[in-house]
Every structure is written in C-alpha cells, then in structure tokens.
Chain A
Amino acid sequence: MKLEVKNINKSFSDKQILFDVSFDVSSSKAMGFLGRNGAGKTTTIRALMDVFKPDSGFFYLDGAPFDPTQVKVGYLPEERGLYGKEPIKEQLKYFAKLKGATNKEANDSADYWLKRFNLDYASKHKLETLSKGNQQKIQIAQSLLNDPDIIILDEPFSGLDPVNSQVLKDVINEKINEDKIVIFSSHQMSYVEEFCDEITLIDQGKIILSGSLNNIKQELGNNRIRIIARNLIAEDLVELLKTQPFTKECFYDKTSAIIELNQMMSTNDFLQHIMSLNIEVEQFMPYYPSLHDIFVMKVGEVDETN
C-alpha cells in the first residue's frame, strides 16, 4: 500500500496553515512526521483523517482517493480522550464496533490489547480509576483495535515511562513487520530515529524535507568525514586540521572531529595525509548527521518538552 498526500492547503479564519503539503509513505515503513509546535503536523493529520476538509489537495491510497472510513485506520489523536466513567473494555469494544468490527471481533481485539498492555485485570474498571500512564496505554490500545492497515499516532510516547515506551516500541516494530503503514509524529527524535525509515519535516505549514532518512543523512552529511584520534582530543584535532590546506570546514562534537574536504582531495589521500601528521587514527568514517542535528539545521531548536 502507498498513501500519498498531494498539495494540501488549509486555512482557518483566512490564515493559511498548510501550504502545498505533499509526502508519501508505503507499507512496512514507518514515517516520522516532525516539526515544531504549531508547524502544521496535527492539522495535516486531521485533514488526512477527514476531521475537516482541506481547501485544496488530495489524499490517495494506491492511486485511488483515500476515505478513512473505508479502510481500517487506527488513529491516536494528539488530544487524548476517552470516557472516564465507562468500563474500559466496554468502551474499547464500542470503538472497535464503530470501526466495523463484529461483536466477537471487538471483544477479542479488546481482550488482546488489554492483555498485551498488561491491563487485563482492569477490564471492568472505569478509565478514570487508572493512572495517567495506564490511561495513555488504553488510548493507544484504542488506536490498535481491529488490526488497522494504517496506523497514525500523534505523539504516542508522550506521558509513557521507559518500560511502557519499550512496550509501545515493540508494538510499533511488530506493526511495521506486519506490512502496515505507520505514521507517527513526535518531538522525541530518538524514537523517530529508532523506527523511521522515512521522515517528513514540516515548518510553518510547508514541507521542508521528506524522504528516506538514510538518503537525507547522506545528503546532509556533505561527504564529511568523522575522525577520532587516539593521541588527540577532538578539540585539538580540529585545531590541527584547520591549519591544513585541504580543509574546507572543520568542527567537533562530543567524541570526534568532523571535517569537510576541498573538492580536489580524495578520501584516501586525506587519510594518508593525516597519518603523515602523526595523528593516530582510531576511527575514520563518513559523517551522517543525527536526526536532532538535521532538525536543528532545518528548523531551529528542538522542543522536547512534550
């Protein structure tokens, strides 16, 4: 399956929020949808889920117009919410049936996810009696009911402790391996980097980056090289390399020096040259920026408060 988002525009009260938003995502791949607060992530997802109509643009699934009510879609909205005073299993069954499950399917699906999230003991409890973390798990379970083919999770890790985050990571990996389309937005770059083969970066309603994470890293790596020397700390190494004529740009991070070479210098020549400078090379590898670096590079500081 391939889900395509094509040229979506959306305005509220004459203020344009989305500008020609386009990206696509395929089965068995997870797509990380990134952006700062107010960048347009939730608006794009809500338009995709037909919560409101876009002013222009289309959503396609395998080339045909996408209708979320005709496909099994699991959706975890950014604004979490379920019925606080209703028994947990009853409301999970209700949501499964609204999505088209039979009574038995709804029952089995609710049982499965309650057990999977270790909440089967609480099936008859009211939601409001659970801790916030467990309520969050029920909300995630709601989005996984009925074995959806497309899973859209808006900030799924917010509010989860490390143990429950691991449970969710396992579930997401499982769904990716089951050939599902998984889209999730997050401020937590480490999670996105862990799962996502593809990323889409949105800023002020415009897509500024979209595609394979590896390709993006390669592209933004600018053929830079990461070097760790045994006999020099990164700071001293950078000072030394900056004096060399083949250095176009050089800087360091916590562990290593990163150098961008002038075009005339090949990698082999560079390696030979630095060895001649009595630098004991411990690691020599292509430099790929982290997702955090990419985010900062493209849209500014990362806001991980959520």
Chain B
Amino acid sequence: MKQIKNVFAFELRSILSKKSVIITTVLFAAVFFIATSIPTIVSLFDNDDVVDETNQDQQIDNGFSFEGSGFYFESSDVDKFTFVSLGGKEYQSADQLREDVANQEISAGFIITSPTSFDSIVLDRSWVIYEAQMVSSYLQSLQIDKNLIEADLDPQTVSQAMNVTIDSNEIVLGRDSSSSFFVSFILMFAVYMLVIMYGSFVSTSVAREKDNRTMEILITATKPSILIIGKVLANAVAGLAQFGFVAVFGLLGFIINQNSYPQEIVDGLFGGLSMDGLLIFLMFTVFGYILYLFIYASLGSLVSKIEDVSSSVTPITLLFIVAYGIAAVGMEAPNTLLVKVSSFVPFSSILTMPVRYFQMSVPWYELAISMVLMLLTTMFFAYVSIKIYRMGSLNYGNKIKLSKAIKMIFSEK
C-alpha cells in the first residue's frame, strides 16, 4: 500500500505540475465562468429600452418587420398595406424587384401573384427564409378573414371564439426526461472528454517509460501491479480534479448570474438533478473511468514508441465512441432495448446507465446488477492489464497485438 502511495504521489505530482495541464485547466475554468456569465454580460449591453419610435408603428406585437424585403403585387386583390406598413418596399415592376435582389439592395423579394400564391426571390438560398414564411402566414390570415366576411361572419368574433386556452397540470411520478435532458447531455459529454483525455494520458505515460527506458529500473524496483495501480489511480484523480475544478468555476458563474437566466433554462439545467442521480452518476463514472484507464495503460505498454500509442489505443477508443453514440440515443429514447442492454454492459454502462437513470425510472435491482458487473469487469481487466503491462513493459521492438498479448498471458509464456 505504501508503495502504491509512492507511485501515486509521484505520478500525480508529475501530471499536475505539467504546464499544459495547468494552462488548460485555468483556461477552461475561465471559459466556463465567462460562458455562464454571458446572460449578465448581454443584459449590460441590452438596449431594448431605446427602440426607435419611428419603427414602433411598423412592428406588430412579435416585433416582426419586412424591413429589407421588396414586394411586387401582380394581383390587385391583395391588401398591400399589411406588407408596406411592416417596412416592406413596394415595387412597380417584377424586373426591378429582381434587379434589386441581384444587387443586394434588398435581401428578399416577393411577387404576390394572387391572394393565395406568391413567388419569393433570393440571391442565395439559406435553409430557412423566415420572411417567406411570414408572407405566407399574412396572406393566409388575410384570405381567412376574407372568407369569413364572405360567409357573413365577423373575423374578430371567430378569432375570439377560437382563442381557447386549456390549462393542464402534469403530475410526473417517475422522472421528467424533459427537465433532465440538458444535465444528462452535459454530464455525458464531460465523462466522454474525461475518458478520452486521461485514457490517452495514461497510455502515453506508460509508453514514454518504455520509450525512455525507465521501465526496466521501475519493474526491478517494485512490482508491476503497484506501478500500474498507482499510475491509473493518479491519472484518475488528476482527471477528476481537473474536471471538478472547471465544473466548480462553471457552477460558480451560474450561481452568481442565475438571476439573469430565464427560469426555463434554470429548470432545464437543474430540474433533473437529484442527490441520488448524482450519486449514481458518480459511481458509474468513477468505476467505468478506472476500467477504461486500466485498459488504456495496458495498451500503452504494448508499444515501444510514443508515436505508436494512438494506433494501439484505437480499438478501445472506438468502443467508447460507440458507447457514447448509444448513450446519445438513450437521451432521446431511454427505454429502447439497445439502451437498456447497453446499460448492463460495463464498457457502455458508464454512460448509458446514468443517462437512463436521469431520463426514466430504473429499478434498484437493475442498478445493482449493472454496478456489480461493472465492478467485476473492472477487477478482471485490472488483473489482465497488470499481466499485459508486465509482459509488454519489457517487450521492445514491434507493437504487440492485443489479441496476441492476451493469448501470451493465458499461455503463461
């Protein structure tokens, strides 16, 4: 235990004293703090109160304006005033309208061919032409009013009659996935980054010891199991400390600026958080993270040069990316068979079980089974990783394939 502590302390000090780690941590903490303060910063520069009064009468309740759009009315049955009063420029010819669009004098042009049809002209097609949707909406509204009048009905009366609001009160007995979505997404992404970053750190760290030939001194000084356990735990703690530090600053920024956030965002971020959810998240994250770090460390020991690390860890990285993909599906559809099964597979349950738990009710026995499977797999892979590390650590030369390494372990060669 004392030796594990020695390795742990040396490795942790080594990681946390790296300039790159310090700079990245401080930078990300600052970025998160600033990002969470954006609503306050925006409100400082918000000049909503100084609206140009001349434009006020051109805007309807929702603030929409046809400023920058041009209209040519082929049909005389259309009420031009609706469009012109909202800032639209009336053209006398369709050609002039097209020319102005082409010269970027106006951003969009509309040729109203009849009360229920129009052509829209733009220079470049973007995904959504908002103005076109609004033209369509206004034309539709005008036509409905016209139809109602023709049917001898007062449009205002009909409008009032149709304006019925139903009050509903939803009582959620299980979990509210709508309020858990954001928190699930943020935490899942944080775990993804944590495993990918620190997995890469630990495998590079092992490969470097082979590359600079420190390995032979290390394994003749103490047991390989002590070295790999100390190294994995140090990387695990360093990763959690780094992410925790950044998270604290993000949280601090949010707490300080919480009054600037709309209530629905506050609910979306924290509505789905509960102590038990946080506990489940932490348990699966910590053990799954350690499981991945052991595998990354053993894969690092199979290569002799640092530049070979990335190709060596590709299979496990791909596996984790697949797990991330399944967890992303789980955020939309937590009850599907794929997500359910993956929440019991230790390589994916690190992400999918917390996502399931945040999104829906998960029976306690499912949590327990998944956790036990995770623990057993972590112990098994820690054992295999120690063996691979012991064997790979002194095998210089060509990269050893993982399958060959496992075969060699079990044939005790």
Contact = CB atoms under 8 A, between A and B. Distances in A.
B222 A82 contact: no
Contacts of A50: 220
A51 B3 CA distance: 19
A79 B216 contact: yes
A97 B11 CA distance: 14
Given A51-B216, A82-B214, A86-B14, A98 B221 contact: yes
Nearest to B208: A83
Nearest to A139: B217
A69 B223 CA distance: 9
Contacts of B13: 90
A97 B220 CA distance: 13
Contacts of A142: 217
Interface in A96-122: 97-99
A77 interface: yes
B2 to A, nearest CB: 9
Contacts of B10: 90-91, 94
Interface string B189-231: 0000000000000000000010011111111111100000000
Contact of A81 (B6, B14, B217): B217
Contacts of A84: 212
B283 interface: no
A80 interface: yes
A51 B213 CA distance: 13
B63 to A, nearest CB: 58
Given A51-B394, A98-B6, A81 B215 contact: yes
Contacts of B217: 75, 77, 81-82, 95, 142
A304 to B, nearest CB: 23
A284 interface: no
Contacts of B223: 69
A305 B344 CA distance: 60
Nearest to B412: A53
Contact of B220 (A49, A81, A82, A94): A49
B216 A95 contact: no
B106 interface: no
A51 B219 CA distance: 7
B206 to A, nearest CB: 13
A288 B223 CA distance: 46
B86 interface: no
Interface in B341-362: none
A68 B223 CA distance: 11
B235 to A, nearest CB: 16
Interface residues of B, number: 20
B232 interface: no
Of B7, B13, B213, most A-chain CB atoms within 10 Å = B213
Interface in B79-137: none
B220 A51 contact: yes
A81 B215 CA distance: 8
A270 interface: no
B216 A81 contact: yes
A191 interface: no
A94 B9 CA distance: 9
Given A52-B394, A69-B222, A77 B212 contact: no
A143 B221 CA distance: 10
Of B215, B216, B217, most A-chain CB atoms within 10 Å = B217
Nearest to A142: B217
Interface string A59-75: 00000000011000101
Interface in A123-181: 142
Contacts of A86: 14
A86 B64 CA distance: 63
A98 B3 contact: yes
B409 to A, nearest CB: 14
Contacts of A77: 213, 216-217, 220
A74 B219 CA distance: 13
A49 B394 CA distance: 13
Of B7, B13, B209, B212, most A-chain CB atoms within 10 Å = B212
A76 to B, nearest CB: 9
B68 to A, nearest CB: 59
A31 to B, nearest CB: 19
Contacts of A99: 221-222
B251 to A, nearest CB: 33
A68 B220 contact: yes
A98 B218 contact: yes
A95 B221 contact: yes
Contacts of A46: 216, 394
Contacts of A97: 6
Contacts of A49: 220
B174 to A, nearest CB: 52
Contacts of A69: 222-223
A184 B293 CA distance: 39
A123 to B, nearest CB: 16
Contacts of B214: 81-83
Given A81-B214, A98-B6, 13 more contacts: A46-B394, A50-B220, A75-B217, A75-B220, A77-B216, A77-B220, A79-B216, A81-B216, A82-B217, A83-B14, A94-B6, A97-B6, A99-B221
Interface of B: 3, 6-7, 10, 13-14, 209, 212-223, 394
15 contacts: A49-B220, A68-B220, A69-B223, A75-B220, A77-B220, A81-B216, A82-B217, A83-B14, A83-B209, A84-B212, A86-B14, A95-B217, A97-B6, A98-B7, A98-B221
Smallest CB-CB A-B distances: 10 pairs: A81-B213, A98-B221, A79-B213, A77-B216, A81-B214, A94-B10, A97-B6, A98-B222, A49-B220, A81-B212
